[in-house]
Structure 1
Amino acid sequence: MKKITPELTWHESWQSSYQYDLLEIYKETSFPRYLGYVYAYAYRRKHILDLIKKVAKPGAKVLDVAAAQGNFSLSLAEIGYEVTWNDMREELADYVKLKWEYGNINYIAGDVFTLGFDSEFDVVLIAEIIEHVAHPDEFIKNIAKMVKPGGHIVMSTPNGEYFQNNLPKFSECSDPSQFEVIQFQPNSDGHIFLLHLDEVESLAQQTNLSIVETRLFSNTLTNGYLKLGTLLDLLPSNWIDNLENFTNKTPLFLQRKLHTSMVVLFSRCN
């Protein structure tokens, strides 16, 4: 992936994307308040790529939905997958192309549900999206239609059972349509529902999907929550990684409360 230099003439969405790249790709750590994001993204990236490699060999067709600045798209293309980048913001495709170095990647902008993808992909990646939609059940059903029988969906999303979460539970909302006017907003301000593990299981059952594996990760310290970002700047990175590894091995009931994020691997039934 090429390193790029920002320009004053860039589109506003390019400038915003570059700010994320500073953290996600270039790991800019000059500001302690953002270190939690750097660590959390690194763990998310590791788990997502690991699960995709676990179920699909290089050459498999992967769709990256709402891929924004395309860091997963580019990484997957570089390790040999045939990737389709998708985002509703068409202008971001040219931003991603600036960073492209090698690998097979197609760019298809627009609403992914109107593009006619039908049982086309071996893997569909939905990273940090489902928490921004008013109807996560309908969303996952429509995503499942794009996966080949026997193919997989990899989903990352914040963990609704994290002890500081105070957003409503989707399964307890009688009228999710009330949130339609605010859906698809970026960043954490746009979160509507944060799914609980039992809700993920229910969504899978409703959608002819089976859950292959679920991983909870990124604890309060590694995410820099509770004003711990400054502490991250003081601790050696191997200490932080060791703490993350330790909490990953705690009993599930503790992980549900301690970890801020999850990655779920689904398989589409034949």
Structure 2
Amino acid sequence: MTWNDLREDLADYVKLKYAIGELNFAPGNVFDLGYENHFDGVIITEVIEHVAHPDDFLKQTAKLVKPGGYIITTTPLGNYFLNKLPKFTEFNNPEIFENIQFGPNSDDHIFLLHANETKLLAEMANLELISQEIYINFLTNGHIKTHHLLNVLPKSFVNLFEKLTFKLPETIMLKLHNNIAVLYRKS
């Protein structure tokens, strides 16, 4: 397994949490490190919302993966009712966001992908969209001050609420959940 981040100083934090197996550290711009067709899979957590060109980012990521390999992304869900950011597909020229991409915290999200944009991104990157899963609703995430409720509500109630929100019509369900995980495969 190889860990990568633009910020080299995070390697020390990752090493503190390291438990078993072989873990290589490769800080820096992964696209400049010579890993073309190197990995069976790449996991990108909470990154794609920080880039001005998520389509190009996914294309470049696909170059890191062997044919038949997988890319997993997780990102906040753009459909979530508190999201006020634009859809990626609403911009003809996302270059206007290049100067703010890759900032150090969650205040610098550029786009939050909507559930219906993941297939388009797959096509643009010449990847196959295998699946996508919506997860975490406003209660389980503690948004809109519901984190106080998590201290008093029984865990069984919170789990039941989570399950029930997935049984709602899709348009409502997408508004109540705030994360998405997407699995892509390289041909």
TM-score range, shorter chain: over 0.9
Give deviations 1:97-140, integer Å, cap 9, x for gaps.
Answer: 23323211111111111111111111100100000011111101
Partner of 2:8: 90
What letter matches 2:41 in structure 1? Answer: V
Matches within 5 A, 1:13-52: none
Partner of 1:101: 19
SS at match of 1:221: helix
SS at match of 2:86: coil
Structure 1 residue 188: Cα displacement: 2.4
Partner of 2:49: 131
- CA distance change for structure 1 residues 217 and 101 in 2, over 3 Å: closer, same or farther? closer
Matches within 5 A, 1:53-64: none
Determine the C-alpha separation between the residues in 1 that align with 2:16 and 2:81. 40
SS at match of 1:267: strand
Structure 1 residue 219: Cα displacement: 0.9
Q: Is 1:239 the equivalent of 2:157?
A: yes
Give deviations 1:171-194, integer Å, cap 9, x for gaps.
Answer: 111321111111111332011101
Structure 1 residue 248: Cα displacement: 2.8
Q: Is 1:202 the equivalent of 2:116?
A: no
Matches within 5 A, 1:205-216: 205-216=123-134
Worse overlay, 124-133 or 163-172: 163-172
Q: TM-score, normalised by structure 2?
A: 0.94
Partner of 1:266: 184
In structure 2, stretches of 5+ residues that fail to align are: none
- C-alpha contact (below 8 Å) 2:56/2:125 kept by paired residues: no
Partner of 1:3: none
What letter matches 1:187 in structure 2? Answer: N
SS at match of 2:107: helix
What is the number of residues matched between the two proteins?
Answer: 187
Instruction: For CA contacts below 8 A with separation 6 or more, give which structure has more relative contact order.
Output: 2
Partner of 2:31: 113
Structure 1 residue 252: Cα displacement: 2.7
Partner of 1:71: none
> What do you get for the CA RMSD once the two structures are aligned?
1.4
SS at match of 1:226: helix
Partner of 2:144: 226
Structure 1 residue 251: Cα displacement: 3.6
What letter matches 2:47 in structure 1? Answer: I
Give deviations 1:208-239, integer Å, cap 9, x for gaps.
Answer: 11111110011111111122121111112222
SS at match of 2:61: helix
Percent identity for Structure 1 against Structure 2: 51
Structure 1 residue 254: Cα displacement: 2.6
Determine the C-alpha separation between the residues in 2 that align with 1:215 and 1:189. 24
Determine the C-alpha separation between the residues in 2 that align with 1:187 and 1:237. 30
What letter matches 1:141 in structure 2? Answer: K
Q: TM-score, normalised by structure 1?
A: 0.66
Partner of 1:150: 68
